[in-house]
Structures are given as C-alpha cells and as structure tokens.
Amino acid sequence: MQYNKSKTFALQTDLGLYCRTGIDEPKTSIQENTFHYRRLVYNVIKDTLKNAFPITKKLIGKKRWKKAVAHFFENHKCKTPQVWKLPLEFYEYYSENALPFKKEFPFINELLHYEWLEIEIFMMEDLPVENFDTEKTSHNQIIVPNPEIKVLALQYPVHIKKVKLITEEDKAQYFVTIHRDFHTKKVRFNNLSYPFVEMLVKINEENTNIDDLKIIFSKYENDNIKIETAISNFISFAFRENMLLGYK
C-alpha cells in the first residue's frame, strides 16, 4: 500500500496541532482513540518539566505552574526531538514571553536557567581531557581544568538563598559554577567571586600556571602575601571541588 506523502504530512501536522491545543480533532484510522494522543503527549511534557524545574514549581505554586506549562504546550512549537532538551525550550520560551499570570518574580528567568544547566551539564557528552599528574612537580607546570563546566552570572542569589526569601534588596552581582565531577559524574555547584571566576575561565581557555594566576589576582590585591594566600586557597578549593584535575 502506498501513502500520499502530502496527506500523511498534513495529518501529522493536524494531529500535532490538536495535541497542543485540543482544538479541531483530525480524522484518524481509530477515531475513538485520537483524544488519548493529546493526553499522553501532554503527560510526557508535564512530567519532564516538573522534574526539570522543582524549585520554580514550588516557588510559583501548583496553579501558576500548571498554567505556565499549559500555556507553553499550547503556544510553543517544539523544535527538539529529544525529550530531555525540552526544558531548555521552556526556559527560552519564558525568556522571550511573559508568564501567563499577574504576579511577577523578577528572578524567575535566572532560576529557570540555573535549573536547566544542571540537566545540560549532567547530560553533556564527555569532553576530552589531557593526561595529567595529580601532584605538582615544578612551579611553572600548566594547570589542567575539568572542562565539563559552565559559569552562570546572576543578579539574584537563586543558588545560595531560599528563593521565597529573595527580595529586590538581594539584587547584586553573583557567579555560580556548575560542573560535572570527573570521577562520580555528579553535578556540583559553587558560588565564586569574580576574581576567582576570571582565573577559572583563563585556566579553561589557555595554558595557565600559578604565576599567571598571581598576575590576574594582582589586579584586585596589592599585597604579595595576600596574593599568595588567595591563590593557594583557590587552588586547594578548586582541586577539592574537582574544578581542577591536575598538572601537566
């Protein structure tokens, strides 16, 4: 049996639109089961987003969350065929469109982005890592970073404060690193001040040794003893948190 490709595509399009909106149910071979498609598709999306954004869901409450998911489902044409990437489209959708309820949460886009990045980092492909030694044998050795990391700049402390307690008075400059542990593959988060973010970025972008880090930190501190101490503490912290892996 041969199928008319144009008719098949038209049916798929109509069925997809019906699944999203519940309007204009298309004619299918088993009509009495057609409405189940929408329920099944919606349940997949609903469960995926609920698991992706537990903090956001708790913050805005069940009614607002249900409305936000339904509005997204009905109005957004999903692009990705991979279900685990759907939360990215949800975050991007509400970065460009207003939430479908009156109460404003000024930091909600940052919170959505923060929660999405945990998924992105956990699911990312393994990145190549150069051979490294865990012990430093000379002062000018190059530091080997954990490349599976992202730095997120924030205006609100969604990563270190209970979101229900965040107010406009908390608005400032924050940085959080989100990385996947090289050994356990678990996602880890760290709050960092800008000088340490700058050092971490440099280590990840080009060959960097301890002296290079001192040059960076000297922009923020003039006292050599304090610079030495700050660099030493940063290196110890970054190795302990598995943001740095070793030396080459």
3-class SS at 143? strand
% of the chain residues with pLDDT over 70: 84
Q: Which residue has the higher pLDDT, 138 or 181?
A: 181
- Backbone φ and ψ for 187, nearest 5 degrees, come out as -85, 135
pLDDT at 149 over 70: yes
Q: Which helix (H) or strand (E) holds 154?
A: strand 149-154
Domain-wise residue ranges, the chain: 5-105, 143-247
Mean pLDDT of 59-74: 94
**Residues 6+ away with beta carbon under 8 Å from 50:** 57, 65, 69
pLDDT over 90 (residue 144): yes
The pLDDT value given to residue 77: 84
The number of residues making up the chain comes to 248
Q: What is the pLDDT of residues 155-181, one digit of tens each?
A: 999 999 999 999 999 999 999 999 999
> Looking at residue 38, what is its pLDDT?
63
* Sign of the CA dihedral running 75, 44, 92, 82: negative
pLDDT digits 0-9 by tens, 17-41: 555 555 545 555 455 556 556 667 7
Q: What is the mean pLDDT of residues 73-93?
A: 90
Q: Which CATH architecture has domain 143-247?
A: Alpha-Beta Complex (3.90)
pLDDT greater than 50 at residue 184: yes
The predicted model gives 238-242 an average pLDDT of 96
C-alpha to C-alpha distance for 55 and 35, rounded to whole angstroms? 32
Summarize the confidence of residues 199-216 as an average pLDDT: 96
User: What are the tens digits of pLDDT across the range 212-227?
Assistant: 999 999 999 999 999 9
- What are residue 151's DSSP bridge partners? 177
The amino acid at 48: T
Q: Which two tokens mark 118? A: 């945990």
**pTM of the predicted model as reported, rounded to 2 decimal places:** 0.83
**Measured between alpha carbons, how far is 237 from 232 in angstroms, rounded to an integer?**
9
Element of type H or E holding 177: strand 174-180
Residue 4 pLDDT grade (very low, low, confident, very high; cuts 50, 70, 90): very low
